Amino acid sequence: MSDIAASTIAEPNETNPRPTRARRRRAAHEGYRGIWIATLAVFGAGAVFADGTLTSAALSSMLPFASVLALAAAGQTLVIQSRGIDLSVPGVMSLTALVFAKQTASGTPIPLAILAACGVALVCGALNGVLVAVVGITPLVATLATGSLLVGAEHSYSSGFPITVTDSIHHAASSSRLGIPNTVYLAVLVVAAVAVISRFTVVGRRFVAAGASPATARAAGIRVTRYTIGTYMCAALCYAAAGMVLAAYVGTADIGAGNSYLLPVIAAVVIGGTAFTGGRGSVVATAVGALFLSQLDQLLFTMGLPTSLRLLVQSCALVAATGARRLRSTRPFTGSAPRKTQMNGYETSQPTDIPPEPDPDESRLSSSKARG
């Protein structure tokens, strides 16, 4: 039986009336507006200061790497929404890329090679999830340990040598349709699938509730441990997709191929507006953040800035995004008040539109009453 003693919904007052669903939706998406404006601004700056960055050749060379970044950042978004962080991104990307390349090079059919790489990713994600949710290790430490373990696995699996993918795979990854690289289509498909599942399904809403307030989610009957482990496993699948796409596009899988993506992945998530406090986030905004970072780096490179200054500008953009979100969080909240729940004498806030998981005890009690 549930141990919730009482539930009361805060009454709206005259000075702060309960907003409509449309107003709540607009308030929820307000924090993601900045990344769209910033992305349009960086493309506009390219048209003014370096129009070479907007040519078909320049965009065709930038978009595949932006797609890889968006795929990996989609997984990191899920983890940060659950109040964690994943530092095993480079390890999972590199190891799954090596597995995919080696399997296809040895004659394994492409679907089976993809399944093998995804299986490795699921094991890595499950390890992260168990260390965090079951053992209770801090996500920073747990994922760092997993990443170090994966470095050793990469050396053991490849003997320290790069593995070349087949010509057919490289050709498919480096080709375009309607002037758009094939990697972009894959990234859009994955990001859209993750966005729809997390936004419009019961599983997705429970995942958001578990990240926003684990204690309240448990009070509502949501199995937070299960959702946390599942989050790291789904994130690892996104990293695997990024690693395989990178290997296919470049033509080789190498040890440490994903090392350069750790900080940009986190930056794309933060710039996209996902909160480190959990719950709130958008994989679509994260993908736009990945596009922003990729185009910004290409713009600065075309303008002749050295690597040190390019990193400095990217760091300033990250700080500016964090500061802007901090300023927004200090403004008075005008949305509807969450439901306040009394549990064992403590008051918590609970989302009103998250359906709890069925309670088996209550189901059996209802069945016995019906038979009686």
Most confident of the following: 3-17, 109-123, 279-293, 344-358: 109-123
How would you class 308 by CB atoms within 10 Å of its CB: exposed for 0-12, middle for 13-18, buried for 19 or more? exposed
Read off the pLDDT band of 151 (50, 70, 90): very high
Read off the pLDDT band of 367 (50, 70, 90): low
Boundaries of every domain in the chain? 30-329
pLDDT reported for residue 349: 45
Element (H, E) at 346: strand 346-350
The CA-atom distances, in angstroms, between 215 and each of 5, 43, 78, 269, 359 are: 15, 43, 19, 25, 17
pLDDT reported for residue 21: 55
Lowest-confidence segment of 31-35, 167-171, 211-215 by average pLDDT? 31-35
For residue 121, give both structure tokens: 């990713």
pLDDT reported for residue 4: 44
User: Which of 280, 289, 258, 293 minimizes the C-alpha distance to 329?
Assistant: 280
Mean pLDDT of all residues in 176-187:
93
Residue 280: pLDDT above 90? no
Residue 63: pLDDT above 90? yes
Q: Where are the alpha helices (DSSP H) in the chain?
A: 21-29, 33-49, 56-81, 89-105, 110-129, 139-158, 167-174, 182-200, 202-212, 214-219, 224-250, 262-271, 283-302, 307-329, 360-371
Tell me the residue type at 79. Answer: V
> What is the distance of C-alpha 350 from the center of its chain?
24
Residues 9-42 pLDDT 10s:
444 444 444 555 555 555 555 567 888 888 999 9
| 96 against 257, higher pLDDT | 96
Q: What are 340's strand-pairing partners?
A: 8, 349
Q: Do residues 197 and 203 touch, judged by C-beta distance below 8 A?
A: yes
> DSSP state, 12?
P
Residue 59: pLDDT above 70? yes
User: Which of 352, 372, 358, 348 minimizes the C-alpha distance to 1?
Assistant: 358
CATH architecture observed for domain 30-329: Orthogonal Bundle (1.10)
Residues 70-104 pLDDT 10s:
999 999 999 999 999 999 999 999 999 999 999 99
Q: What percent of the chain has pLDDT over 70?
A: 79
Read off the pLDDT band of 287 (50, 70, 90): very high
Q: Which residues are CB-contacts of 355 (< 8 A; sequence separation ≥ 6)?
A: 202, 205, 206
